[in-house]
Structure 1
Amino acid sequence: MKDRTTKARRIVRDRTRTHRAAARIRRRGVASMATHAVAAGLPIREARTVASSLRRNAAKAACDGMPGVSYAGKAKARACTRYSRAEVARAAALYKPRKPRYAEARNALVGAHRNHAIGLAA
């Protein structure tokens, strides 16, 4: 019983995190690369890894983003760059991941922009 309960709670927690990230992007229109990766379904640790690669590719794709300040919990405020869905899709198009899970996230990031542009995604 405990194993099933723990697994179920983890699934709900993961879905909640993904849904909140996606809702935040819908509301504000821009978010950090890590938030876009979380919205694509990655856990936070893997999202940070993908985000660093996407930032490198964003520079190649000439995506400037929008400067902002991140206030995360009780941590010190720090500078960040927030990107729109279109900018993330351009950076993700150049991203060539090796891990299958990262490839799924890449496809979700490129597809999210396409679906949003034609009105399929909320």
Structure 2
Amino acid sequence: MSLASLCVSGYEMRKAFHYRHLRQHGLLATATVLTARPVSVLHNYGIRLDVHYRDSKNRPYQACLVAPDAEDRFTEYQAGDQVFLRYHQQRPALCELEEVLDTPWWRGPLVPAILLGGAGCYFLWEAISSFLK
């Protein structure tokens, strides 16, 4: 359990740094929604968007992104809608929705990373301590 917590913590930490990099250095693009359908992962609801966008060199890209489903959202995504995203300058296929990058810090991936990392370290410490006794 402790190793699984540490692995998930590492994944969430990597995602947090990726989001931070895209917020600071990512290039803004307008994408067109191709398809939109609701998804549920571990009781977290969202909307899976297949989008098409072009980078600064006018090369086409497609991406599958998940927009969080918020109760205060008045519009739903439909095919043909325009959304904003940020993509990596050197690797334009790496992108994320602007609204995902603008989430408050307490809803971002850093909080679960810290909590899972702390719990994983604690359980690993307890397992090693009981093994050495």
TM bucket, shorter chain: 0.3 to 0.5
From the two aligned structures, give the one with the greater helix fraction: 1
| Structure (1/2) with the larger strand percentage | 2
Relative contact order (alpha carbons < 8 A, sep ≥ 6): 1 or 2 greater? 2
Q: TM-score, normalised by structure 2?
A: 0.31
Please tell me whether Structure 1 or Structure 2 has the larger radius of gyration of its CA atoms: 2
